[in-house]
């Protein structure tokens, strides 16, 4: 006897665990650990691409809003002759902070605690921000979204922010 997976359209308040469980039932490729690994890889690629000032290879992972925000920051940096360097040394912790099921999408909030060597230089190559030699601890909160209706299986980064 075949049991059908519960539909993903209830808009009731569910706990993060319930949303994640529902996702894994409805999507055989989804699990919290594999999502976290994917988020880590996306974080590395996006942070690196942002620092390099070239978002081409990560464009498909970014919502329109995030893409335009990142692009504007890159343009401003280039205009003033500044360069940004980001090298992720280590991930201290990556964890799912929340998951929300909306009508057509699911959103997962991820907390990244990383050690990053991050610094900016001006036109003359002088360090104007950060430190070239010692890694800083950075805490970021990123929100990823995916459609639960369409064929698009990609998670999009829809929001970034510091965890203060």
pLDDT in tens, 26-72: 888 899 999 999 999 999 999 999 999 999 999 999 999 999 999 99
**pLDDT confidence tier of residue 13, bands split at 50, 70 and 90:** confident
Gap between the Cα atoms of 34 and 155, Å rounded: 13
How many other C-beta atoms can be found within 10 angstroms of the C-beta atom of residue 140? 17
Q: d(Cα 22, Cα 24) in Å, to the nearest integer?
A: 5
CB hemisphere CA count around 111 (13 angstroms)? 11
Q: For 16-32, how does the pLDDT look when each residue is reduced to its tens digit (9 = 90+)?
A: 999 999 999 988 889 99
149 pLDDT band, cuts 50/70/90, is confident
Neighbours of 147 (CB within 10 A): 14
């Amino acid at each position: 006897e075949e049991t059908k997976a519960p539909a993903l359209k209830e808009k009731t308040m569910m706990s993060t665990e319930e949303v994640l469980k529902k996702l894994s039932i409805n999507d055989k490729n989804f699990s919290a650990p594999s999502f976290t690994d994917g988020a880590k890889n996306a974080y590395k690629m996006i942070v690196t691409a942002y620092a390099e000032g070239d978002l081409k290879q990560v464009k498909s992972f970014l919502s329109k809003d995030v893409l335009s925000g990142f692009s504007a920051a890159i343009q401003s940096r280039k205009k003033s002759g500044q360069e940004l360097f980001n090298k992720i040394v280590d991930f201290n912790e990556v964890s799912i902070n929340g998951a929300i099921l909306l009508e057509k999408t699911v959103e997962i909030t991820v907390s990244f605690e990383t050690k990053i060597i991050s610094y900016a230089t001006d036109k003359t190559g002088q360090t104007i921000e950060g430190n070239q030699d010692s890694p800083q601890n950075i805490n970021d909160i990123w929100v990823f979204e995916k459609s639960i209706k369409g064929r698009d299986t990609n998670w999009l980064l829809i929001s970034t922010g510091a965890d203060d």
